[in-house]
Amino acid sequence: MTALYTLTDLSKRYTRGRESITIFEELNMTIEQGEFIAIMGPSGSGKTTLLNLLGGIDRPSTGSVECEGVRVDKLSEGNLARWRSANVGFIFQFYNLMETLSAAQNVELPLLLTNLSPKERKRRVRTALEIVGIEDRAGHRPAQLSGGQQQRVGIARAIVADPKVLLADEPTGDLDRSTADEVLETLQLLNKEMNKTIVMVTHDPAAAGYASKELHLDKGRFVAKENA
């Protein structure tokens, strides 16, 4: 495998009043191209913070976040936005869909920042919806969709620009077990058949079982577990 991300001596601290709170201290990590990693750990252990650092939404206090030779933590805001739109797809627990837009329009949103023609945007939207098995709901608004269907729209939105990595923050946390398994099977399909690198934060051991590797984050350190 080829390294996609390399995190070196990564530290993240927040200041609350006079108090300094350390999330990570000199954390080192490599994420290989094509891995499906589940990150688990107690609340407050820094799982979502790590996703934000990988996606360039947050910056480390010290250390580096490198993706295929690019120092993500050193990019200007404009270059960071362009890098993010080309390389990263985000999947959220509560879907983050625009209620006034149809499923297809929600999926198209990331493409509005590109130079693609309207025809090409529509083709990509149709393909993304087909991949997640919800093309027959393209014209429905979120209120007309079940939770599982909304999350599939969220996944389609995440993959429509063909990013290298998908960052999923509790993607099944608001779903029942059966629906959650369907969503996780979709993520597994994207990983195995489309070689998408996936980093997923979850509290659910059953969800983590779909990943190829589990990383348990506690007190700023990882303990790895390889899944069969």
What pLDDT digit, counting tens, does each position of 51-61 carry?
Answer: 999 999 999 99
Length of the chain (residues): 228
Owning domain of residue 60: 3-226
pLDDT tops 70 at residue 223: no
What pLDDT digit, counting tens, does each position of 115-148 carry?
Answer: 899 999 999 999 999 999 999 999 999 999 999 9
141 neighbors 122 (Cβ within 8 angstroms): no
Residue 95 tokens, joined: 């879907």
225: confidence class by pLDDT, cuts 50, 70, 90: low
Q: Tokens 């025809």 sit at which residue?
A: 119
224: confidence class by pLDDT, cuts 50, 70, 90: low
pLDDT tops 80 at residue 30: yes
66 neighbors 28 (Cβ within 8 angstroms): no
Of all helices (H) and strands (E), which one includes residue 143? none
Q: Tokens 């070196």 sit at which residue?
A: 8
Mean pLDDT score across all residues of the chain:
91
Q: Tokens 């939404």 sit at which residue?
A: 57
**Number of domains composing the chain:** 1
pLDDT at residue 99 in the model = 96
Rounded Cα distance, 78 and 82, in Å: 6
Rounded Cα distance, 23 and 31, in Å: 20
DSSP states of 172-225: TTTS-HHHHHHHHHHHHHHHHHH--EEEEE-S-HHHHTTSSEEEEEETTEEEEE
pLDDT tops 70 at residue 24: yes
Tell me what the mean pLDDT of segment 30-50 comes to.
90
CATH code at 212? 3.40.50.300
pLDDT at residue 19 in the model = 86
